Amino acid sequence: MKQVRPLTITGGKLVTPGGVHAGSVRIADGRIAALGDVAPQEGDETLDAKGKLVAPALIDFGVFAIDKPAFRFGGVARAALMPDQNPALDLPSRVSFIAKSGKPDLWVHPFAAATRDLGGAELAEIALMKDAGARGVATGRRWIADSGVMLRLLQYAAMLDLVVVTHAEDGGLVGSAAATAGEIATRLGLPSAPAEAEALAVARDIALAELSGARLHLRQVTTRAALDLVGAAKRRGVAVTAGVTPAHFMLSDLATGDFRTFARLSPPLRCEDDRKAVIEAIGDGMIDVIASGHDPRGPEDKRLPFADAEPGMAGAETLLAMTLTLVRDGVIDLPRAFDLLAAAPARLLGVDAGVLQEGCEADVALIDPEKPWVVDSRKMEATAGNTPFDGQPTQGRILALFKGGVAL
């Protein structure tokens, strides 16, 4: 679906890397043609932003399902899909099919499975999957325990210049745990694993990334100890980036107190000190990406005892609103927020998007950052409403979304 007529969005507040400025943006042939003090040209379609934010559309880095209605509601124009599908994305044909599956409404950027069937033992045909459209390689929901396999993966990915996306929890320590070890898990009688499982996994993977020269992205870093390791590695010049979902900066393990399985996540919710550490890391730049971790789960997976329920949350619809809470709280400013939500994911994926800049692909969102609404799991656009933010009042809604200059 190509843009037929140029579009000029006028009267907006443009969110650019250099700040937020009043102005207009003109889109032609699917790309940003000009922005700033721009007037519509003859034949242009026009849209009056009426003083609202004009920002890059979100790039959701590491979702587990393609959920177009939820992405549209949340302002997501591109989604990087994890390889944990049925069957796993461990063959070029599967990657190629997925890379085309979102059209014309969505850009889907698949991650290749790091190992056959995500088993953690035999490397998959990563080079062929890159040729088929893979934008990175991922270990999926699990950590690769074999350090030899992990080193070969990183060396191979470095040669192909693909980012390696890892799940940072030592599986030997985590096992079937449903909570983080501590007072809350003990009181609730939940099977738990120490928070140190994350730091151990992060330390190993950073060491191997440093040895191989690969680009490593730790999909979720949720503890103070692991964030300290990421910070030290960055200062040494290691090509490591870190991500997190809103659940881990908005909620602590106190949210599991009523056993509601919408708060059953992977990694599990952490203690209050770790939650504060995540917020600090977002503020000081140690965390590079905020993603939704979108993983809609129906009653068959969630209406179970807490320890038996599947982890995961429907996060795409709340991603923007929860990130904007950090702006209102003064942790970050708007340009930093959209770097976390769009520009940094674009850099990791190697796509020419995620920023309002001349020549970039015109994936653009019109946003009312103050519009109030209440998260209601019963009314969500996602295929399932398993959100840990159910019932929470919030602010920030998408008013219009454009993919390549075409309204969605």
Cβ contacts of residue 197 below 8 Å, gap of 6+?
169, 170, 173, 174
Reduced to 3 states, what is the DSSP secondary structure of residue 371?
A: strand
What is the secondary structure of 23-89 as a DSSP string?
EEEEEETTEEEEEES--PPTT-EEEE-TT-EEEEPEEEEEESS--HHHHHHHTEEEEEEPS-SSS-S
For residue 1, the model assigns a pLDDT of 67
For residue 105, the model assigns a pLDDT of 84
- Identify the residue whose tokens are 């692909």: 361
Mean pLDDT per 10-residue section of the chain, whose length is 408 residues: 88 96 95 93 93 98 96 97 97 96 90 97 97 97 97 98 97 95 95 97 98 98 98 98 98 94 96 98 97 95 94 96 98 98 98 96 97 96 94 97 93
For residue 3, the model assigns a pLDDT of 83
Whether domain 57-355+372-394 has CATH 3.20.20.140? yes
For residue 249, the model assigns a pLDDT of 98
What are the residue ranges spanned by the domains of the chain? Answer: 57-355+372-394
Please choose, from the candidates 194, 265, 246, 190, the residue with its C-alpha nearest in 3D space to the C-alpha of residue 223. Answer: 194
How far apart CA 163 and CA 134 sit, in angstroms, is: 10
The model's pTM is: 0.96
